[in-house]
Amino acid sequence: MSKEEILGLIAQGEGQRLEFKESVAELDRIIQTLTAFANTNSDGGCVLVGVGDKGKVKEVIIGRETVKQIANKISAHTDPVLYPEIEVVKESGDKGIIVITIDGSPNKPHLAFGRAYKRVGSTTTQMTRDKYERLLLERHKDKFQFDSQICERATLKDIDEEKVRWFLRKAKAEKNLDIDPAIPVEEALERLKLGDGSFSSFFL
């Protein structure tokens, strides 16, 4: 990112997808904001480190390990882990602006230090429990579909052998299923991936 592009962003002011931070000392808040961007915006967001709240360019000292330290702390304190793009823009010397960009996440909700955050305008705020649980259910919706749920109390005694063989014959004739209808029921269920591995319970 060029200096001109950064100045263009600064001119926009803080908002739904943009945050200014004066220094790396605010890294905890930066991480919270990154999770808020990932949780809220389909296009993610960007944090400019080295810019004051009112858009005044402050710049920060950037050492050889600065970017690595930022990346390590982000990965250590986000769950699921966020991997933002971190770019350093310098004019000269050891000072400059750090641009941290995160994409919108299909794996939300993300936590920062064990808590979920969202973006409301130019503010990062803690997510309500209801909102967090809704996002969590959305993330795991495929696991909660009825036809993929395990029936914990079912055993082989609950399986109608004749119905299993009827299904195998029908599937072989109509779908070319490559399972012999005469094989033991236990083996048929295993090959259909309808057991939990112990034959003590099965997917309905």
Helix H segments across 140-184? 161-175
Q: What is the pLDDT along the chain (204 residues), one digit of tens a residue?
A: 888 999 999 999 999 999 999 999 999 999 999 999 999 999 999 999 999 988 999 999 999 999 999 999 999 999 999 999 999 998 778 899 999 999 999 899 999 999 999 999 999 999 999 999 999 888 766 655 555 556 666 677 778 888 888 988 888 888 888 888 888 888 888 888 776 555 444 443
Q: pTM score, two decimals?
A: 0.69
3-state secondary structure of 204: coil
CA distance 15 to 113: 23
CB 168 within 8 A of CB 179: yes
**How do beta strands 45-49 and 18-21 pair?**
parallel
Sheet holding 111-112, edge to edge: 78-79, 111-112, 115-120, 123-126
Task: Tell me the domains of the chain and their CATH numbers.
Answer: 3-141 (3.30.950.30), 147-203 (no CATH)
Residue 98 CB: number of other CB atoms within 10 A? 24
